[in-house]
A and B are shown apart, each in its own frame.
Chain A
Amino acid sequence: MSVDDLRGRFEGLFERDVTLVLAVLGTIYLAYILAGVAFGYELRGQLNSIANLTFYIGVFGMLALALNLHWGYTGLFNIGIVGFMGIGIYVTALVSKPPVAEGGAAQVGGFGLPLFVGVLAGVVVAGLFGLLVALPALRLRADYLAIVTVAFSEIVRFTMMSRTFQTFTVPDTIDLWLFTFDPAADTVGLGGGGGLILNYTDPLEALLRALFLWEPYLGFVAFVQQNFISNNPKPVIDGVVYGIVLLVGVGLFYLLLSRTGKSPFGRVLKAIREDEDVANALGKDTDRFKLTAFVLGAALMGLGGILWYSGRGSITPPSFRPNITFFIWIALIIGGAGSNTGSFLGGAIFAGLLYEGPRYFKNLVETAFELGDAPRNFGEAMAGFASLDPMPFVLYTLDSISQLRLVIMGVVLIWLMHNRPEGLLGHRKETASSVDLARPGSGGSTGNPAAADGGEEQ
């Protein structure tokens, strides 16, 4: 690869899209920091707020990217995202939770394998379930795939809750042809309605230990404790560092998916989205491409689920309701289906403005105006209008802003559908090819008359 080639690639990175992404991220972070200042946050509070924001930007960014592979590229209408996320984290928990005897409070144990094995298993199993769903469903037209996937995600959730799968007893030895296993686990299961306690090693600790960074990290925490935050800084720093890990994850997702998109493989996916019969008539085995894309996307959704929930103390089935799926869809639609950069941008905007934003807005207004107590119910809120006093209603609205979040999302979605249905970056300009498609020898520009001239003289 020549120097020019490298430079070209480097310059390509800083096209308009990337500038836009950086500008949007910068604005969101700045707004959060300013809000933090308004709240009178100390450093600790600021870091907490930033860590929280970064977490949601990270997970929504990743999941929107994965969905973009399904919908933006291949046109597969998957509305069962949360099912794959749930499978990912549940399998990870099952594999990596310590056996019940060591677990103490936990009623259900796991196989006690290292966390990275658990993550790997979670991703693979999510992919396998993707295959299971896709095999019969991809033969159907788009709407039927949607029905199958949403049903699938609900089946997953009900399976998590069901008593049948709550606990299993693992035999002491498992004979498998030549090998004999002696699993440490006694009782495993999905935990039913109570969910699972994630009592494995802290994922961040596991990662840093694997990278031999754990000791330096503890040193850094001690340093911060001495100089900046005297009172137990570790959870805060953990949060920030985990946010950074997630952003690195987004970067890897982006790299993987833009490579997938910018290749002959991605080109066929686009062709399937546009007109499957044409792709077929051009000799492409579209079923195989759809299947591969669906499995890859499902596996990535599994990984997204793992990264979202693995840091929590526990997981319960209600976390995996379809609303998560629709959040991710909104993120993708905001950013623009068909563009990887747009998907991440949509994830960031969704996380910053629609998901976390309303709560911040409420706190901000409350800090700024020293408002009184909100009315307890809608009747009281409306009663104020009798004496032409809108305050109770405003207070009530502000108080129920987390419920209103869904309404706001709906309004934004309707506005987008009317005014910018292609999303912020939905121009689908990301050319599906691993090389520049300009006329060879024309110096990278198709509009170069001199070069075109030279090409014609033979």
Chain B
Amino acid sequence: MKYVDEFRNPERAKALLREIETLAARIHQCRRRPIALMEVCGGHTHTIFKFGIEAMLPESVELVHGPGCPVCVLPMGRVDDCIALAESPGVIFTTFGDAVRVPGSKKSLLGAKAGGADVRMVYSPLDALKIARANPGKEVIFFGLGFETTMPSTALTVLQAEREGIRNFSLFCNHITIIPTIKAILDSPELELDGFLGPGHVSMVIGMGPYQFIAKHYRRPLVIAGFEPLDILQSVWMLLKQIAEGRCEIENQYSRVVPPNANSAALAAISQVFELREFFEWRGLGSIDRSGVRLREAYADYDAERKFSVPALRIADPKSCQCGEVLKGVIKPWQCKVFGSACTPETPLGALMVSSEGACAAYHRFGGLGRKSHKANAA
């Protein structure tokens, strides 16, 4: 596959790994604990597991799988709201595929569908708008989900609906924003992170500017990383190089996609349609100030939360579930009390076990081969 295989070349991977080993050994000489690097984005987690990258790294480098899977951090109460909307009479509920299995307090969207709700998987919010056009007698709700990566397409769809005067389309908005979340992780007292692999596609929208505080105030390096295996390895190498040289900077490994400046057209669409909520609830992390968005008053007609009544109940995460500690990198997935016993991909308790980008599901599915700490799990 052109423009993909080049970024999966095993010879280049070997060369990078040698450099990584040399740097890691140098850094590790003057410290006891391993070098902990968090990949913020679920797409990175997916690549790391799919190609078996974690086990190729030296043992002194640990990857912590961060909160960047939008499906995983969705609290149970919001899933219940989805199901209530989907089960309302006359509603077609449209959603991205990997959200349908996320457990609510009683069932998932897949369960609601089996019970008769009209739940349809779409690949884009524009597909949802198409369904609204084709079904004027029905109310079509789109389950808006994701960080700044998917926000512009949702915003443009709302604007398109307004232009066409489509009245039977609305958005159940669960879009979240990455910066306050990284800040919340950095403020966590248990924090033991040495650097971040920054989200590639989010950065394509917001640019490099918003990350500067991480280097300035928190003295942690961040490298914006692409999604192919060599992107990840090169970004790890760039982070280690910064650590070894005592630098804390925001660097861009993914420059073939991410420009230094923000995408102003995308940001304009976002700010025309959305405004920040005072706070938003995250599964595992709790409430984070100004971390979610909702539709502005001017687009209230397209807001499913105002158009329909949703229960909007806060459901506490199951007590036994340690998703939050996994998300913050305090424990590894297999160290969770219920990993693989009460919580499995078949019957997930925490959302990290649901999506293929969730760290726990990835460990369960792809395993961790070749590292001492993972062997108990894989066996």
A, B from the same assembly:
no
Instruction: List the interface of chain A (C-beta within 8 A of B).
Output: none
